[in-house]
Structure 1
Amino acid sequence: MTRPLLLAAALAATVLTAVPGVSLAGDASKVTLVYEHELPNVPGKSIRGVLVEYPPGGSSEGHTHPSSAFIYATVLEGAIRSQVNDGPVKVYRAGENFSEMPGDRHGVSANDSQTEPARLLAVFVVDTDETELVYPLK
């Protein structure tokens, strides 16, 4: 196996272990770990970038993240309907962003369109030893 194929296989395996518990209603979505790096000036912390692609009508189940995670999300395409904690449900369009603090609950995360896809990039600052980034709400 060539080096690029080995790297692709390793990244795929990392995605499957790093983002379990993300399930979407409607058509299947794509969740991809696109970046991971330990922070050299903050021992024990890493930054991870996760690309979430929602098909038309797609949505994630309500979830939380590790208690060490700070998340900054930017909508890259389309419009995302989101609710954090008991705040209002808001629609974020391409170029807009939101953040989640450690311990926040993300009750709504959905494509606001039934006809167009939507994508967002979620950037996590999280403890390096965290293996799961998403936990379903109970």
Structure 2
Amino acid sequence: MQAPDAIPKILGKSLIALEVDYVRRGLRAPRQVGFHLRYVISGAIESKVNDGYAPLSCSESWYEPPGVIHSISRNASKTEPAKPLAVFVLDTNDNTLTMPTKYALDSLR
């Protein structure tokens, strides 16, 4: 992962943008650490954040504040990959973008 870039004139905050590859029916379930914006570059994503469910298609975007929990974050397709661009704004000294939740750890067992 590349290092976040400092945001000029906003002391203590940095920005990082990453492409996320979701394989067919790929699943992730972390808790967000920083402010987070996603834009779907290709495919479709299903996401449940706290109590809100959001199916998103190519060219759609959504925002998440810090601390929200993804109980669902996955590729909506059983046959095609999906790729969102994830943009995080975080504290400059923080290298962690997400933290595993109990749900995520249990799903790995």
TM-score by length of 1: 0.70
Structure holding more helix per residue: 1
Q: Which has the higher contact order (CA 8 A, sep 6+)?
A: 2
Give the aligned partner of residue 131 of structure 1. Answer: 95
CA deviation string 1:87-113 (max 9, x = no partner):
2x2210000011101221122110000
Give the aligned partner of residue 36 of structure 1. Answer: 4
Decide which structure has the larger Cα Rg and report it: 1
Q: Which runs of 4+ in 1 moved over 3 A?
A: none
Aligned residue pairs, count: 102
Which of residues 45, 48, 59 is equivalent to 1:80?
A: 45
1:63 aligns with 2:27: no
Structure 1 residue ranges without an equivalent (≥5): 1-14, 16-32
Give the aligned partner of residue 49 of structure 1. Answer: 17
Structure 2 residue ranges without an equivalent (≥5): 103-109
What percent identity do the matched residue pairs reach? 38
* Cα offset, 1:36, TM superposition: 3.2
TM-score by length of 2: 0.87
What RMSD, in angstroms, separates the aligned Cα atoms of the two structures?
Answer: 1.3
